[in-house]
Amino acid sequence: MIKKINFFHSLIFFNFSIIISALSFFRNNNLLMLCLFLILTIGISHGALDNIKGKKLLKFFNLKSMSTFYIGYLLLSLFIILIWVMLPKILLSIFLIVAAYHFGKEDMFFLKNKKKVYDGILYFLKGSSVIVSPLLFHKIETILIFQFLNFNISGIIFIEDIFLYILLILSFFSTLYLLFEENIEMKSLLLLDFFSILILNYLLSPILAFTIYFCFLHSVRHSLSLILQLNKNIRKGFVLFVKKAIPLTIITALIYLFSLYFLSNYLELNESTYKVIFIGLASLTFPHILLEYLIEKKWKLMLILFLIAKKWKIKKLKYF
C-alpha cells in the first residue's frame, strides 16, 4: 500500500512541478515570505512527531520523564546554532553533507533494500541533486544565499560546472543502482522525483525550488509514513497526525518568527529570513536525524551499553 501511495505522490508531484515552474508568477518572483510560511507549516510538521519517537527511545533507557527528551533535543538544537555562529563554514559544510544523505535515504524509505556497506555513499549521491542543481542552474543566486549564511563559496573549485555535472550524473546513476532490484513502477517513481528536482531548479529560484521540494516531496512523503504508522486507515491516520503535530509545529513556528523579528533589527529582512530558514532547519535536522539513527540502531546501543557496564563492573571489582 505504501509503495502505491508514494507512486501516485511522485506522479502528482512531477506534474505539480511542471505546472508551477511554467507559471510566470512563480518564475519571475523569489517569494521568500511564501517559502518561509510553507516551511513553517508543511515543512517542519514532518518532524513534529519526534516526541513520540523520543518516548520510545526513553523507554529503551528505562526513563519515564519526557522533560529529559525535550531538554536534550532543545540543548542539541541550541548547540548547533552556537556552532554555526562560531564556525559557520565547518557546520554548513557538514550540514550539506548530512542533508544530502538524509534526503537520499528518507525519500526512498518505503523500499526494503538489502543493506550494503556502501549504501551511505549511494544515499549521499542520490540526495546531492538537491544541493547541486541550484548551484548548476542558478549559481550567482545560490552563492548569494551562501554569503547570507556567512559562507563565501566563490572561487571554490568544487562549484565549477564540470564537478557539478559529474556529481549530478553520479546522483542519477546511484538512484538507478539503488533501484536495481525493483520493478519498473518503483524505478519510475524515483526517476520522476529526480527529474522533478531538475525541473524545479532549472525554472525557479533556488529558495523556491528547495521549498517546493522540501515541503511537497520530502516532508509529505515522511508524513505519509507517520500517518500510516498511526493508523492503517489513511484518513484516520491523517486526523491523528494533524492533532499530534500541531502543538510542536506551532511552538517551532513561533520560535522561528521570534528569531526573524530579533535578527531583522540588525540585518536586512531577506538576509534575516535566509538565516532563520537554513540555520533553523540545521538546528532541527541534526537532532531529528540523530533520533532516527538511535531508534534504528537500538541493538548497537544495547551492545555498547552492555560492554560499558561489563567493563565498569570489572574495574569496580578490581578496585575493591
pLDDT tens digits along 205-260: 999 999 999 999 999 988 888 888 888 888 898 999 999 889 889 999 999 999 99
pLDDT tens for residues 167-211?
999 999 998 888 776 677 777 888 899 999 999 999 999 999 999
The answer on pLDDT for 162 being more than 80 is yes
What would the mean pLDDT of 88-109 be, rounded to a whole number? 87
The answer on pLDDT for 7 being more than 80 is no
Report pLDDT for 317: 38
- Mean per-residue pLDDT of the chain: 84
Report pLDDT for 290: 83
Number of domains in the chain: 1
pLDDT tens for residues 50-69?
888 888 778 777 777 788 88
Residue 133 banded pLDDT, cuts 50, 70, 90: very high
What would the mean pLDDT of 149-176 be, rounded to a whole number? 86
Report pLDDT for 114: 60
Q: Which domain holds residue 308?
A: 2-319
State the residue for C-alpha cell 526573524: 260
Report pLDDT for 318: 44
pLDDT tens for residues 261-313?
999 999 999 999 999 999 999 998 888 888 877 777 654 555 555 455 555 55
